[in-house]
Amino acid sequence: MSKVAGQPPLSNALIKVVDLLVESEIRIDAMEQILVKTNPVAYELYLGTIENLQAHKAAEVKKVLTVMLKSKLCEG
């Protein structure tokens, strides 16, 4: 992404964050490919760790959304 003249600072900051996320994703994908080819056992462990982290993240998001929903219901 590139900066567009006249954008507010928050928008520019958001563009920078997205750029960094995309760059990080590309690097992680490249490292995954190297890991697959050099050490399949370590790659399987890596995948297991990622799955556990995704499950943990989903549980945390669900908990936060539940609290937010209950808070909104109590207000209204």
Domains of the chain, residue spans: 9-75
Residue by residue, what is the 3-state secondary structure of 6-55?
Answer: CCCHHHHHHHHHHHHHHHHHHHHHHHHHHHHHHCHHHHHHHHHHHHHHHH
> Is the pLDDT score of 43 beyond 90?
yes
> Is the pLDDT score of 2 beyond 70?
no
pTM of the model: 0.56
> Is the pLDDT score of 67 beyond 60?
yes
